[in-house]
């Protein structure tokens, strides 16, 4: 529920009220607006709402109508901007995250990182723990892959994004990574969600293969309910009856999610389409529809890539994409520039 505080409430009175609510096991989040200050009060609410209106300092109480609370716009009307080092996700500029599907070896990874940076990407992606459909497929380099990512950051200054597949990797993520990715297959792995909520690093939460928008937002709610508000949603295509492409990109999710939540939303055109040929048109559509950023797979020799080669852009294609986006951004956004 949203507890609207009385105008002119003293600091002391407001602290007393928050203390009282916390002592009843509610999570309390203060939001100071221009007109009024409100408290977002989340937890199992057993009492009648009118009870809360009788508490000192309370002007009125508004129930939050959605099952997700902390991620909802009702509680947090302003869009959230997630800061990763110098990079602001959800601000005025489009954020492009690029890199290979998996970290394969040091030299190649470094080469891709230098290239995507030169083209204007501001964060680097690469999987070290790969959730594969087959147990016989390459599972990633593990900690060695994370070490390579840390070297990428050291050399290029790009923050690194990588997938976490188990709570047992938490310490490694804290040590090496800037943004923790939760993959589509793990979107409803609730123990993993609680774990990334506690780690406190920004989280890139992919939409599950067959997840509704509400289920996706409930997963984000898990992370925020553990105290981590830095969540970036990533639409990566959903399963439909259409088999021509790997998945079907749900572009509608962007304006819908922006209406329902304050969290930034980015698009992954690589996993959405499964083929490099469609990545550029889908990326442009994502920008036009108002996505805050893109997650794009890039590989210099896609035919040799250990995973997702077919959907990876060659460096020159990635360059072309970034050129096209610069023009498109100018038409779509105020600032007309790609971050930072």
Site residues (CB under 6 A) for ligand PEP? 101, 127, 183-185, 206, 236, 271
Calculate helix-pair angle for 213-225, 253-260, nearest 10 degrees. Answer: 40
> How is residue 302 written in tokens?
């896609």
Rounded CA-CA distance 324/340 in Å is 17
- List the x/- string, 98-117, binding to Mn ion by CB under 5 A: ---x----------------
Rounded CA-CA distance 147/267 in Å is 27
Residue 335 phi/psi, 5-degree rounding, is -80, -30
Candidate segments 45-53, 96-104, 114-122, 139-147, binder of Mn ion by CB under 5 A = 96-104
Nearest distance from residue 83's CB to ligand PEP, in Å?
Answer: 22
Please state whether the peptide bond connecting residue 167 to the residue before it is cis, i.e. omega within 30 degrees of 0. Answer: no
Minimum CB distance to Mn ion smaller for 217 or for 280: 280
Minimum CB distance to ligand PEP smaller for 72 or for 181: 181
Nearest distance from residue 125's CB to Mn ion, in Å?
Answer: 9
202 binds, among ligand PEP, Mn ion, none (CB under 5 to 8 A by kind): none
Place of tokens 């497929």: 137
| SS3 category, 54 | coil
What size, in residues, is the chain?
Answer: 340
C-alpha dihedral (248, 251, 254, 259), degrees to nearest 10: -110
In DSSP notation, 130-170 reads ---SSTTS----THHHHHHHHHHHHHH--EEEEE--SGGGH
140 binds, among Mn ion, ligand PEP, none (CB under 5 to 8 A by kind): none
184 binds, among Mn ion, ligand PEP, none (CB under 5 to 8 A by kind): ligand PEP
Nearest distance from residue 183's CB to Mn ion, in Å?
Answer: 9
Nearest distance from residue 240's CB to ligand PEP, in Å?
Answer: 15
308 contacts Mn ion (rule: CB under 5 A):
yes
236 binds, among ligand PEP, Mn ion, none (CB under 5 to 8 A by kind): ligand PEP
206 binds, among ligand PEP, Mn ion, none (CB under 5 to 8 A by kind): ligand PEP
Nearest distance from residue 198's CB to Mn ion, in Å?
Answer: 26
Nearest distance from residue 324's CB to ligand PEP, in Å?
Answer: 22
296 contacts Mn ion (rule: CB under 5 A):
no
Calculate helix-pair angle for 276-288, 315-332, nearest 10 degrees. Answer: 20
Instruction: Tell me the residue number closest to ligand PEP, measured at CB.
Output: 183
Contact 286, 294 (CB under 8 A): yes
Residue 165 phi/psi, 5-degree rounding, is -110, -10
**What are the residues binding Mn ion (CB under 5 A)?**
101, 308
């Amino acid at each position: 529920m949203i507890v609207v505080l009385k105008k002119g409430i003293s600091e002391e009175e407001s602290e007393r009220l928050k203390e009282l609510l916390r002592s009843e096991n509610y999570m309390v989040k203060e939001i100071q607006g221009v007109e009024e200050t409100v408290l977002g009060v989340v937890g199992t609410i057993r009492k009648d709402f009118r009870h809360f209106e009788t508490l000192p300092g309370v002007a009125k109480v508004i129930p939050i109508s959605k099952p997700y609370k902390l991620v909802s716009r009702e509680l947090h009307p302003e869009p959230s901007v997630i800061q990763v080092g110098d990079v602001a996700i959800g601000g005025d500029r489009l954020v492009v995250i690029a890199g290979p599907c998996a970290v394969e070896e040091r030299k190649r990874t470094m080469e891709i990182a230098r290239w995507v940076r030169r083209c204007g990407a501001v964060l680097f992606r690469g999987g070290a723990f790969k959730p594969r459909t087959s147990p016989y497929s390459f599972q990633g380099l593990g900690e060695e892959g994370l070490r390579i990512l840390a070297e990428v950051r050291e050399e290029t200054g790009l923050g690194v994004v990588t997938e976490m597949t188990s709570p047992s990797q938490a310490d490694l993520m804290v040590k090496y990574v800037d943004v923790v990715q939760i993959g589509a297959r793990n979107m409803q792995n609730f123990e993993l969600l609680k774990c990334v909520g506690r780690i406190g690093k920004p989280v890139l939460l992919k939409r599950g293969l067959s997840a509704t928008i509400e289920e996706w937002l409930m997963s984000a709610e898990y992370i925020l309910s553990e105290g981590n508000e830095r969540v970036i949603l990533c639409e990566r295509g959903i399963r439909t009856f259409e088999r021509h492409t790997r998945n079907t990109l749900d572009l509608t999710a962007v304006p819908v999610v922006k209406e329902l939540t304050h969290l930034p939303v980015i698009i992954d055109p690589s996993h959405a389409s499964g083929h490099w040929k469609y990545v550029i048109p889908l990326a442009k559509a994502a920008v036009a529809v108002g996505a805050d950023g893109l997650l794009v797979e890039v590989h210099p020799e896609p035919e040799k890539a250990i995973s997702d080669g077919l959907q990876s852009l060659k460096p020159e294609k990635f360059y072309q994409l970034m050129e096209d986006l610069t023009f498109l951004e100018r038409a779509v956004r105020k600032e007309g520039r790609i971050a930072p």
